[in-house]
Amino acid sequence: MIGLKTWSLAETDGQNKYLVDRETKRTHLCHPLLFYIINAIDDGVDIPKWLNSITDDNDSIDIENLGRFSKNEIHYYYRKYLILKENGYFTPIDQAEKLGGQLTPDSVKKTLANLKQVTFECTSRCSLNCSYCGYGKFYDDYDKRQNENLNPGTAFRLLSYLLDLWNSPLNDSHNSNIYIGFYGGEPLLNFPFITQVVDYVRNLNALHRRFTFTMTTNAILLHKYMDYLAENDFSLLISLDGNRENNAYRVYKNGKSSFDTVFKNIAALRDKYPEYFLNRVNFNAVLHNKNSVPDIYRFFKTHFDKVPSIGSLNTGGIKKSQIEEFRKTYSNFNESLYQSEDYSMIEKDMFVKLPNIQDVMIYLHKYQDYCFNDYNDLIYDTHGKFIPTGTCAPFSKKIFVTVKG
């Protein structure tokens, strides 16, 4: 079974571009033109044919968002691509060979004994009908939502099984933290499930584990359950896109705005539990054509003195019939940020929550044994054989288990 990509391209907000290849375990600083060529090849562009269409070597070609380049410059960086390919980059993973002898019952148990997070999809029900929802009108790549609740018994059986592993010699860390997450739909619509799981976890005889409870919520029902969440020290992530106008896509099923309810509930939580709000409550906003990065940032700093996380709309699985409307709704994070005159201040304050920085952090946590070096550092011996450069930097893997109804 061959076909899993080993490589990816990444770009920072400072416009630095990188090529990451898991098969060679290397990360390279990438020239913008090389970055463009790799992307084009991945999209099926025949680069030699493109080069042949440029009749004059001295002609310059305008490449969108990059500038003008001569045929010779394009050819130079295409040769760079070929050199990388000749030395093991861009090689599809043979999954059968890669996993042969590695994915065993013992290796799975070892992984579970050292997992970092368990997330329960409490319910597929939701109190809102957000226009851009991953289960909404734009997308066709999701399982059918049946408005079902997850049974507590399912959670208990999983946690009981995991407890045996956590207390076994397979657990190689002492007193480490595990995040028990509650997700949806809107998880507070299945509040009894949450309370039962919390009680069950608190009574587990976990010898080498501590637990932190987390939740992502739209805050519609926050006024009913804030006491419980604060008393149990939940790490709370609230979804809100900014002010009333910014939040226009987050509506009830009857089409009415949810903003007033959510804002009132958040303010009540802040006023009643100020220390808890300061330390345990954060916000996540979705970027689209009715808000902007500066709008979102200023709203949360002004009203709650918080720096939100901001994510773009998911670009995968779009229905063909919805492509045009999706394009009108979509907004690019970098373009939105850099249109602001005070973007440098926002960028500095948001640093660890910038999407590109988040991607890098996730990568560093998930993968290990790789090298970083400038692609110009490729070294060859006198026989033309490739000599690797750089130093390896191992990182611990994060392991997650998600339970759905």
Write the pLDDT tens digit of every residue in 296-319.
999 999 999 999 999 999 988 999
The residues near 359 (Cβ < 8 Å, ≥ 6 apart) are 10
Both 92 and 117 in a single domain? no
Q: Phi and psi for 56 in degrees, rounded to 5? A: -110, 125
pLDDT of the residue at 61: 83
User: Where in the sequence is the domain holding 53, given as residue range(s)?
Assistant: 2-98+371-402
Mean pLDDT of the chain: 85
Q: Are residues 347 and 388 in the same domain?
A: no
Residue 127 lies in a domain: yes
**Strands (E) located in 339-405:** 370-374, 379-380, 386-387, 392-393, 400-403
Domain membership of residue 104 (yes or no) is no
Angle at 195 between CA 254 and CA 225, to 5 degrees: 50
- Residues 287, 394, single domain; the answer is no
Q: At residue 27, does pLDDT exceed 70?
A: yes
Task: For residues 359 and 381, state if they share a domain.
Answer: no
SS3 of 150, please? coil
Contacts of 277 (CB under 8 A, 6+ apart): 269, 270, 304
Indicate the pairing of strand 67-70 with strand 60-63: antiparallel
CB < 8 Å & 24+ apart, contacts of 105-113: 109/165, 109/170, 110/170, 111/399, 112/162, 112/165, 112/399, 112/401, 113/165, 113/166, 113/168, 113/170, 113/171, 113/172
User: What pTM does this model have?
Assistant: 0.69
Residues 178 and 219 in one domain: yes
* Residue with more model confidence, 404 or 237: 237
Kind of pairing, strands 2-4 and 93-94? antiparallel
State the CATH number of the domain containing residue 131: 3.20.20.70
pLDDT tens-digit series, residues 191-202: 999 999 999 999
* Residue 39 φ then ψ, to 5°: -60, -45
* Structural domain count of the chain: 2
In terms of domains, do 336 and 375 share one? no
Please check whether residue 38 is in contact with residue 9, taking contact to mean a CB–CB distance below 8 angstroms. Answer: yes
Task: Please give the Cα distance from 212 to 388 (Å, whole number).
Answer: 42
Shared-domain flag, residues 390 and 272:
no
Rounded to whole angstroms, the Cα distance separating 221 from 224 reads 6
